[in-house]
Chains A and B, each alone.
Chain A
Amino acid sequence: MGLPNASEDLSSEMEVDAFRRLFPLRYFERHLAESIRPDARPLSRARDTTISMGAVASADGSALAKIGSTTMLAAIKMEVMTPSLESPDEGCVSIDFHMPPICSPLVRPGRPAEAAPVVAKQLSDTISSSGMINLKELSLVGGKAAWMVYLDIYCLDADGALFDAALLSAVAAFSNLQIPTVSLDDGKIVMLPEEQKEENSEKEPVNKEKRKLTLGGIPFSLTCILHKNYILADPTSEEESIMETLVTVVLDSSNQLVSLYKPGGAVLAYTSAVQDCIALTRQRVKELHQILEEAISGMEID
């Protein structure tokens, strides 16, 4: 076949950027053979991750998470609702994931990105099955009033590993959440603004003591790409578009497996590959846990 030879010959004459655009797979494989990636990361290392809490002042809880260039802004708004008849002592959590056209040149206005509903579904499944939120804590008056938690996550920059960053921002937003104070006024729940300290209410059900949710097993995730016999942790969008086999592993803080997601792809994952991905995720969970703890304690000092 003339093609591999042709690119080999051209690679010595062509500029690096041109080679990267014209023969992307070959460009990456040249790097992988040296156990490194174009951004100089070793195969198993994730990009720099930061979390900043309280990014949206008007929300009840919010966080901005960045993994490399991928940026996610999560904000929580709470409203009072009547609980359903089947679960009168439980509140409800609604998770929405948006990819506005600012995040990527591939997203066109008027046509939602393909990845958006997929990540949204993955997120709600993961958060509900991880048991992080105890819905019974969201109840205000049994059978009559409960909290509806709206979590909106906006992708501000899409550069690969969207699910990881979205999950991290969701978890951070829940850690940052301050439940608004309410009081019972003639049988109706009324939101109290922060500044008022008047004693104009008889009962104060969920107030002052219970302003934070107790979070159960907090889920953290890592997405890996499988290519031939390489495993690349935390791919960028360029890597995701060239090597399409992704595996996402979600573990909670006690290293229990919450979910394993592999949506098809050219490469089959044998047991060893799956075990390697889980091992990489375990390492990543420790890093993420520490980053989250630092962000939370940073907020408390303020």
Chain B
Amino acid sequence: MEFVSPEGLRLDGRRPTEMRQLRAEIGNVAKADGSAVFEMGNTKVIAAVYGPREVQNKSQQMSDQALVRCEYSMANFSTGDRMRKPKGDRRSTEISLVIRQTMEACILTHLMPRSQIDIFVQVLQADGGTRSACINAATLALQDAGIPMRDIVTSCSAGYLNSTPLLDLNYVEDSAGGPDVTVGLRLLSCGTYGYTLGPMD
């Protein structure tokens, strides 16, 4: 199947190094301490941050830093076919872990000992790049909550199809079977700091 036409256009008309349209909004969830909605093309994700607040499970409380928790879940209607088990499956658990570790590295946790910061991410529409959209939304939500951070993390995915490197894969390109990588980058530090997150097939 042809993912890049001879003229150099992808299936949705983008150039190989062109990203999809980005949209972001903060403060959507009034009840949360911080919240954000992030859209990358048709992928739409909402993140909410609660914290710093009291640790719910006292056994996990840490006396020198804050506990960061993250939960990733997808809405039943977010994918093409309705999903039966939107959370608790392996993929969701893995992505929750990845987001938590990424954000935890940037939060100044030593400033908030014995407290807990909860990051909840919900995918409302999935069209490839949900992992990246979640990290971007989580960053915005943490900033909306005013949580002290040492850096800003942003993320995007890329892949390689028809001998062309492609930026910001959508669902069709992602499931084409070529290698893909999701990268999270910290912006304000010296620029060489990068996290490679995703599997490379």
> Are A102 and B47 within 8 A (Cβ)?
yes
> Are B30 and A75 within 8 A (Cβ)?
no
C-alpha spacing A237/B32, complex, angstroms = 13
C-alpha spacing A100/B29, complex, angstroms = 12
What is the chain B residue whose CB lies nearest that of A111?
A: B56
Interface string of B1-44 (1 = CB under 8 A from A): 00000000000000000000000000011111001000000100
> Are B79 and A58 within 8 A (Cβ)?
yes
List residues of B (65-114) whose CB comes within 8 Å of A's CBs.
69, 71, 73, 75-82
Q: How large is the interface on A (under 10, 10 to 19, 20 to 34, 35 or more residues)?
A: 20 to 34
B150 contacts the other chain (Cβ, under 8 Å)?
A: no
Q: Give how many A-B residue pairs fall within 8 Å (CB-CB).
A: 87
> Are B76 and A58 within 8 A (Cβ)?
no
C-alpha spacing A77/B127, complex, angstroms = 17
What is the chain A residue whose CB lies nearest that of B47?
A: A102
> Are A101 and B118 within 8 A (Cβ)?
yes
C-alpha spacing A62/B77, complex, angstroms = 10
Which listed residue (A73, A77, A105) contacts B124, Cβ 8 A? A73
Interface string of A68-90 (1 = CB under 8 A from B): 01010101110100000000000
> Are B35 and A102 within 8 A (Cβ)?
yes
> Are A102 and B48 within 8 A (Cβ)?
yes
A59 contacts the other chain (Cβ, under 8 Å)?
A: yes
List residues of A (90-125) whose CB comes within 8 Å of B's CBs.
96, 98, 100-105, 108-109
Given A100-B120, A150-B82, A157 and B30 touching (CB < 8 A)? yes
> Are B50 and A103 within 8 A (Cβ)?
no
A29 contacts the other chain (Cβ, under 8 Å)?
A: no
Given A57-B42, A105-B53, A156 and B29 touching (CB < 8 A)? yes
What is the chain A residue whose CB lies nearest that of B49?
A: A102
Shortest Cβ gap from A140 to chain B (Å) = 18
C-alpha spacing A116/B27, complex, angstroms = 24
Contacts of A147 in B (CB 8 A): none
Sample 19 A-B pairs with CB under 8 A, ordered by A number. Answer: A56-B77, A56-B78, A58-B80, A71-B28, A71-B29, A75-B75, A77-B77, A77-B81, A101-B50, A102-B32, A105-B53, A109-B118, A109-B120, A150-B76, A150-B77, A154-B124, A156-B28, A158-B31, A159-B30
Spell out B's residues near A (CB within 8 Å). 28-32, 35, 42, 46-48, 50, 53, 56, 69, 71, 73, 75-82, 118, 120-122, 124-127
Spell out A's residues near B (CB within 8 Å). 56-59, 62, 69, 71, 73, 75-77, 79, 96, 98, 100-105, 108-109, 150, 152, 154, 156-159, 237
